[in-house]
Amino acid sequence: MRAGMIAFAVLTVAFLVVSLPPYLSLDPAQSRVAPRADYPLHYPLLWAHIMFGSVALVTAGLQIWPWLRRRYPAVHRWSGRLYLFGGVFPGGIVVLGVAPVSTTGPISAVGNTMLAVLWLGTAVAGYRAARARRFADHRAWMIRSVALTFSIVVNRAWILVYLGIFSLFGPVDDALITAAAGASVWTSWIVNLLVAEWWLLRRGAGRFS
Ligand code: HEM
């Protein structure tokens, strides 16, 4: 468990250090995702999504840290509220204005839109379970939610894997990059969700604290 927590923290920090800087200037010209000229809200929504996503990613790490949860339950409650109301809920809603017009084609667009809907749905289910004091259900839904949040980090590794595989069969052109982007979006959240389900089955929803 400790090794898993350290890996989560290191990968999260590495992802944020590499991904965030182009967006801190608020300059659309620095964006790695080319803002769409025909859609003025594209960049503001993408930017807001990245800021809320960063809050979600950092607080997700705090939420799944067993020591913090046991030792400081009040911190767990407050960072949980921040995860939901300062991260997943606003981040998931604004990304619904970005995902369907993905710059990397329809396969990415559908995969990211499904991810956004599941991201919101699992978080709503986790919040409702906590309010109803169904804590085993709450933990299970939050494990699924965090698995989806973390899919953005593993996505970067999957895209390299797919670029490597696809380039064995053809030239590295725009079509190949679009295919690798689409495949990596779907793979990252489906595999993360399957790992979460495996974890829940193995440990039992109420027994992993
Ligand atoms: C889990 C739900 C998420 C969904 C559905 C989602 C969806 C998207 C979409 C659609 C884009 C635009 C890419 C394109 O046009 O194809 C994007 C970009 C981006 N997202 Fe997310 N995202 C999610 C979570 C996160 C989280 C938690 C972060 C953490 C900071 C994040 C950070 C970013 C960054 C940095 C970009 C810009 C890409 C780059 O600069 O390389 N996303 N996301």
pLDDT tens for 146-187 read 999 999 999 999 999 999 999 999 899 999 999 999 999 999
Q: Is the Cβ atom of 17 under 6 angstroms away from ligand 1?
A: no
| Local structure of 98: helix, strand or coil | coil
In short, whether 54's Cβ falls inside 6 Å of ligand 1 is yes
Tell me how far the alpha carbon of residue 140 lies from the centroid of ligand 1, in angstroms. Answer: 24
Single-letter amino acid, residue 70 = R
Residue reference for tokens 């109803």: 132
Question: Contact, 69 vs 78, CB < 8 A?
Answer: no
The count of other CB atoms within 10 Å of the CB of residue 167 is: 14
Q: Given this model, what pLDDT does residue 1 score?
A: 67
Q: Whose CA is nearest to atom 39 of ligand 1?
A: 32
Predicted TM-score of the model (pTM): 0.94
Segment 48-83, tens digit of pLDDT: 999 999 999 999 999 989 899 899 999 999 999 999
pLDDT range class, residue 209, cuts 50, 70, 90: very low
Beta carbons of 62 and 39 less than 8 angstroms apart: no
Other Cβ atoms less than 10 A from the Cβ of 112: the count is 24
Q: Which atom of ligand 1 is nearest to the CA of 113?
A: 5
- Residue entry with tokens 């089955």: 201
Residues in the chain: 209
